[in-house]
Structure 1
Amino acid sequence: MEFIAVFLVSLLVLFILVAGVLFGRPPVYQPEREDVLALLQGIGSRSTTEAAWGLFIHTPITHDPELESFRQRCYQFDQGEVKGVAARQGINGYLYDMNGRSYIQEIASELDRFIRNAPLSIDF
């Protein structure tokens, strides 16, 4: 009798797991342009954490190709692939040194201009 009870409870849990896998949706990373702008501006103001920055530069953005190009530029900078600017560790809570922060601020200002000049779109 105990075997049947354990079997039925296990079967119920297994069905719930299978239903969750079949009907659940996978986690996705879809940041908005304004969120990325705040993240880039946070490099200069020390409000961007290393975890948030690492998630941004290491996770491809598939829903917005223009935003992906900004992410790739930040990734290339972080990996030291940008000529003339080195991604050196910052001090006193900053992620990068002064030259790195100014480079990221240039990217942030380009993204800000891009957001302001982007046409409005409404999804119905």
Structure 2
Amino acid sequence: MTILLTIVLSFLAFALIIWALMHMRTPRFRMERRDFLKGLEDVIAGQADENEWRVLVGYPMRHDPELEALRLECLAIEEDEYTGGQTYLFTEAGLEKLREQRHRLLALINQEKY
């Protein structure tokens, strides 16, 4: 009788664990436009390091097609203008291109308010 009770309780515990794992969701990283703007401004001001840049442009923005297009343009700028310097991560031309992207992003943010 105790063996049968042990088997039933073990099965129930196992089933509960499997059920809980099936219903857990993986954490999602979702960057919003204002977060991207803040990161971009930090890079332009020379206040961001390489890791912050990687976090900024390293994750696809599938939830926001305009932001994803902007992220891809920032990656294209990185290919040509990235220096990885101590203060500024980009050349002056690269910083100017990032400023243009910042202006586009500001327009998108202002557009979503209306």
Instruction: Report the TM-score, using the length of structure 1 for normalisation.
Output: 0.69
* Structure 1 residue matching 2:81: 3-state secondary structure: coil
* Structure 1 residue matching 2:83: 3-state secondary structure: coil
Distance 2:91 2:20 in 1: 45
Partner AA of 2:81 in structure 1: A
Shift of 1:12: 5.8
Shift of 1:19: 4.7
Distance 1:63 1:36 in 2: 13
Show the counterpart of 2:82: 88
**1:71-107 superposed Cα distances (whole Å, 9 cap, x missing partner):** 11111222x2xxxxx2230533221122111111110
Runs of 4+ in 1 over 4 A off after TM superposition: 11-16
Show the counterpart of 2:61: 61
1:104 to 79, 95, 98: 98
Q: Is the helix fraction higher in 1 or 2?
A: 2
* Structure 2: 5+ residue stretches without partners: 1-5
For the aligned residue pairs, the C-alpha RMSD in angstroms reads 2.4
Count of residues in Structure 1 that have an aligned counterpart in Structure 2? 105
Shift of 1:38: 0.8
* Structure 1 residue matching 2:35: 3-state secondary structure: helix
Q: Who wins on radius of gyration, i.e. which is larger?
A: 2
Distance 2:48 2:15 in 1: 41
Instruction: Report the TM-score, using the length of structure 2 for normalisation.
Output: 0.74
* Structure 1: 5+ residue stretches without partners: 81-85
Partner AA of 2:73 in structure 1: R
